[in-house]
Amino acid sequence: MRTAFMSLARAMVKGFVRDRQAVFFSVFFPLMFLVLFGGVFSGQSTSRINLVEVGNVTIFHQLPRPEQAAFRAAFDVSKSNDLTASLEQVRKGDADAALQQVGHRVVLHFSRADQVKSSVAEGTIQGFVQAANLAATGRPPTYTFATEQVEDKSLKTIQYVTPGLLGWAIATSATFGAAATLVGWRRSKLLRRLRLAPVSTRAVVGARIGVTLLIALVQMAIFIGLAVVAFGLQLTGYWWMAVPLVVCGTLSFMALGLLAGAISKTVEGASALANIFVLPMAFLSGSFFPLDNAPGWLDVVSHLLPLRYLNDGMLDVMVRGDGPGAVVTPIAILVAFAVVVIVVASRFFRWDAD
Amino acid sequence: MGEIIAVSELRKTYGDLNAVDGVTFSVATGEFFGILGPNGAGKTTTLEIVEGLRKADGGEVRLLDMSPWPRNSRLLPRIGVQLQASAFFERLTAREQIRTFGSLYGVSGAKADEWLDRVGMSDKADTRTEKLSGGQLQRLSIACALVHEPELVFLDEPTAALDPQARRNLWDLLSGLNEHGRTVVLTTHYMDEAEVLCDRVAIMDHGRILQLDTPAALIRELNAGVRISLERSAIDPGDAARLPGVERVETDESSVLLATHEPAGVLAELASRDALAGLQVKSATLEDVFLTLTGREYRA
């Protein structure tokens, strides 16, 4: 039975690799987007804050070295000695905030025009002031300073787009692969032919799942490899927890593909249906743009889609620095989704094309 | 010789249609058995029930003394099937196809390659199935059905959609399949094919077996006589009708057709009159049997 499994898997891998269209749409096409986002829009940080230092704000120069580095990462600091001109800059939006030190008072001038940046600046500066207070006591801090929080919210484009586009790529290949295989095998009667061979259903289904997972993990390796090497993607500690996440996501999308394949009569119909499933899902699940500022209804809708959970889970562990616990809920939801969809698909399943 | 297949009172309905309507037959070990009939006669449905692909609504099937339904994994290694469409994996070469099928039955790669050779496909071993011709696909799919040397093999219209030349080429391959005691069950809608290949033929239409016998016996039983065809100018139709033994005379623009049950006497008579120009002697074929049985033209 092992040999049957292996030879079926080998046949499927060859079938995929030789299908230029499938390889293009599941690997190269999403990679083109990665290159586009990573290459063209790189360096655009979504919320690095322009800060005008008015006069000399001494407490920040006395910060311990790691905090200073964090400060520079969070803020783009320019110097000025003219308070009036600096405030005008903030008012016009040329700068996000102006910072001034009067004796022991640190004053932050901000504009309501960009509430997000001003509140981030406010919270951050407050944190730094507290850190400076702590440093002034000369005692080692009891609690470590959460500078990373600030950095992680200001994800560079590549940090954000890599998990999202990877999610889209995996959804595409798993859904289309399952749909096309099911319809193709049914039409060519290969499905029936295999039924008349002494090979267990487990071996056939297992080989298909194994090959789809293999393809998804290869996609993941290519995406992350390229993003790290070429575009400076920085992975956070538990990024490898994205592997089980990708495995479960792939199962969900395979289930979706099987549903498309079970309903459709032709390969063309199946891939059209898979498209109808995948493309809107990719848009709504934040594969192409962040959902942080999305309206509430969109947020609700996207939480009905498996890709949203895969994308969010990958973002959490790959670039936001969350621990392994962050993938538990997404994994549970993805598996549950796969089970439900498989049950529905099996109700539509037919052995024959007619 | 024992019975390898025993089918009794098989029934299958699809809605109002009685696709198989009380079919009974048995096949002996080593026999080349044909099921002949037009499209929609119920041949494929019958075959699929016997193979174990479909559940019968009524009746019984025994295959190698086992029931093919539900899926019987002890039976499967002993039978080989070729389905109507060419059931292949996508984008694999001929060699990869037969090796993949072989491995499902635990057959080694070398043994699988041998079968490629036996069906004359060695030179196409590295060609993907998408690029093979209809005849080549049929050869490959027959090889895939036989790669594990089954005792019993089912071929569902292996020559359908082939041109006459490719069809006759395939006959050479098919006619050797029941050597060494292998049993072959073949469906076809070609009369000549059943006549050439099969030991016994079941003629099916509307889900029923109309007649079952050897091709020769079926034709003999028909007692259709012989038709002698001559050039139009060879003999006057009136004279021809008066020859002893001639039962009927038909004419068209180019020929005279004499129907008789005593061809020897008629031919001797014609020879003595030197009226043999364009002579052709045709005995009845399965086509005539079918025509007689169903009372209508054969719709292939």
**What's the pTM?**
0.76
Percent of chain A with pLDDT over 90: 43
User: What interhelical angle do B109-118 and B94-104 show, nearest 10?
Assistant: 120
A10 contacts in chain B (CB < 8 Å): 100
CB pair distance less than 8 Å for A10 and B100: yes
Average pLDDT estimate for A4-20 = 93
Q: Which residue of B has its CA nearest to A204?
A: B104
CB pair distance less than 8 Å for A189 and B83: yes
**Tell me, what's the pLDDT at B161?**
77
To the nearest whole angstrom, how far is the Cα of A266 from the nearest Cα of chain B?
Answer: 15
Spell out which chain B residues touch chain A, with contact meaning CB-CB distance below 8 angstroms. Answer: 51-53, 71, 73, 76-77, 79, 81, 83-92, 96, 99-101, 103-106, 128
DSSP, collapsed to helix, strand or coil, labels residue B102 as helix
The reply to whether ipTM tops 0.90 is no
Nearest to A19 among B83, B91, B101 (CB): B91
| Residue type for position A144 | T
**Tell me, what's the pLDDT at A150?**
47
A184 contacts in chain B (CB < 8 Å): 90
Question: Rounded to the nearest 5°, which phi and psi values hold at A145?
Answer: -85, 130
Q: How far is CA B75 from the centre of its chain?
A: 24
Mutation target for B interface from A6, A16, A191, A192: give the one with most B CBs within 10 A: A192
Whether the pLDDT of residue A147 is over 50: the answer is: no
Mutation target for B interface from A193, A199, A211, A267: give the one with most B CBs within 10 A: A193
Spell out the per-residue pLDDT of chain B, length 300, in tens. 589 999 999 999 998 889 999 999 999 999 999 999 888 889 999 999 999 999 999 999 999 999 998 888 899 999 999 987 778 999 999 999 999 999 999 999 999 999 999 898 999 999 999 999 988 999 999 999 999 999 999 999 998 878 888 888 889 889 989 888 899 999 998 888 999 999 999 999 899 999 999 998 988 887 778 888 889 888 888 888 888 888 888 888 888 888 888 888 888 888 888 888 888 888 877 877 877 787 665 554
To the nearest whole angstrom, how far is the Cα of B147 from the nearest Cα of chain A?
Answer: 12
C-alpha neighbours within 13 Å on the C-beta side of residue B1: 11
CB pair distance less than 8 Å for B104 and A184: no
Whether the pLDDT of residue A185 is over 50: the answer is: yes
CB pair distance less than 8 Å for A195 and B53: yes
Q: Which residue of A has its CA nearest to B90?
A: A15
A71-75, A203-207, B87-91, B128-132: which range is least confident on average?
Answer: A71-75
The mean predicted confidence, pLDDT, of chain A is 85
CB pair distance less than 8 Å for B100 and A7: yes
**Tell me, what's the pLDDT at A111?**
79
Residues B200 and A293: their CA atoms lie apart, in Å, by 77
Q: Which residues, in sequence order, are CB contacts of B35 under 8 Å at separation 6+?
A: B43, B46, B47, B185, B186, B187, B188, B201, B202, B204
Which pair of tokens denotes residue B78?
Answer: 């002993």
Counting one residue from A and one from B, how many pairs have CB atoms under 8 Å apart? 67
Which pair of tokens denotes residue B227?
Answer: 């038709």
Average pLDDT estimate for A42-62 = 72
Mutation target for B interface from A1, A183, A189, A351: give the one with most B CBs within 10 A: A189
